[in-house]
Structure 1
Amino acid sequence: MSKTLIVPGLDGSPAPHWQDWWARTDPEAMLVDLPDPRRPVREAWEAALAVMILRHPNSILVGHSLGAVLIAQMLTHWTGLRVRGAVLVAPADPQASTGDCHRIRRFGRLPDRPLDVPAVLVASRNDPWMSFDRSQILAEDLGADLIDMGHAGHINVASGFGPWPGGKVIRDRLMDQTARPSILRRLLGQTPAARRPGA
């Protein structure tokens, strides 16, 4: 079974955050240790995540907030990384004018080209770190399927997300759909990297 690499965002994901719960309850998952989560440096975070991906090829990446942005940026700029798929939960816009955006602004602009792996973007309609409209545009730019969580805030502890079994369900569906390419895709000669999960 593929490993699940859980990528936290700004300030990390300590208990009772759903990412901490996931890492503790799933033997195939591990929380990526990013350096200095209170003062993120993109290059240092990319290096830490790249090491984990190289150690665990064909993993599913599950990022929250700035961790989701890190994944998207890496997969659009680092070629050759063997990743099975990505789940991007409540990405935080480094260029937004709300929240602690001054601490993440150095991450630069959000990527605007398709990822080369199947991806799902999970968004909320009242996320203070990214508007739902912007999430829709980002999902389209990345070639990711969008899951509308309704009014779920930033999908974190403050908005009521400690244990979140739904995240594992999304991961499992992505793994299932990347494991079994359709006959039509094989006939068309599409590569596994072109596959995208259904909504």
Structure 2
Amino acid sequence: MFHVKQANADQVAPQVLMLPGWQGSGPDHWQSRWEALHGYARVEQHDWQQPRRGDWLARLDETVIDSERPVLLVAHSLGCVLVAAWARFSRHAHKVRGALLVAPGDVEQPDLAPALPGWAPILRDPLPFPSLLVASRDDPRCRFERAEQLARDWGSRLVDAGARGHLNADSGLGDWPEGHALLQPWLAGAA
């Protein structure tokens, strides 16, 4: 007689959820390319141009609740700020295996704040799951020193990407294999 061993949550491959920032990620953005290459899912928001924090929080929560597997969050720009807010309010953060937070958007910056009402202040509680924050030294949407402080506040390990701009399509990252390599420990269940 054969016995089937039940896999525990650490052995199940996570569902990778892409969390683009304000205005979404276009077809040349590394997030869109990862979706096409690896079959990752995008958390589609109702309004990419006029983001309302409550709406975005609810949509992320619905998506995590609906997942039958643990999730891995891959956020860019405003998506990073979303993860921090969601982690504070959601009762489902235990489903997150890890979060890759890339080029957080500093919505407390005077030139960004008017375009994104309701997103400041950035919530700074330690995240209840492992996280990496990837920051560029010349990101026009978040000074490197601010990114360092967010990493400390969120309990994230900081990854210095060098001078690469906002780490978006304009940065010429293509498929960004260096970024994808950061996910491998979580994808393998070892993180």
Query: Which TM-score applies when normalising by structure 1?
Result: 0.84
Show structure 2 runs of 5+ residues with no match.
1-12
Counterparts of 1:20-169 in structure 2, within 5 Å, are 20-27=32-39, 29-56=40-67, 57-81=69-93, 82-98=95-111, 100-169=112-181
| One-letter code aligned to 1:143 | G
The answer (yes or no) to whether the contact 1:4–1:62 under 8 Å persists in 2 is yes
Q: CA deviation at 1:157?
A: 1.1
1:3 pairs with 2:3: no
CA RMSD of aligned residues (A): 1.5
The answer (yes or no) to whether the contact 1:16–1:162 under 8 Å persists in 2 is yes
Q: Write out per-residue CA displacement over residues 29-80 of structure 1, whole angstroms, 9 at most, x where no aligned residue.
A: 1111011101100011111111111112411000000011101211122233
Q: Which residue number in structure 2 is paired with residue 183 of structure 1?
A: none
Shift in CA distance, 105/129, structure 1 to aligned 2, threshold 3 Å:
farther
Q: CA deviation at 1:165?
A: 1.6
Higher helix share: 1
Q: Number of paired residues? A: 177
| One-letter code aligned to 2:170 | A
Q: CA deviation at 1:105?
A: 3.5
The answer (yes or no) to whether the contact 2:124–2:153 under 8 Å persists in 1 is yes
| One-letter code aligned to 2:61 | A
Aligned equivalents of 1:164, 1:12: Cα separation in 2: 18
Aligned equivalents of 1:174, 1:139: Cα separation in 2: 19
Q: CA deviation at 1:123?
A: 0.4
Aligned equivalents of 1:95, 1:172: Cα separation in 2: 32
Identity of aligned residues (%): 35
Shift >2 Å, 4+ stretches: 173-176
Q: Which residue number in structure 2 is paired with residue 193 of structure 1?
A: none
| One-letter code aligned to 1:90 | A
Any idea what SS the aligned residue of 1:75 has? Answer: helix
Show structure 1 runs of 5+ residues with no match.
181-196
- Structure showing greater radius of gyration is 2
Any idea what SS the aligned residue of 2:182 has? Answer: helix
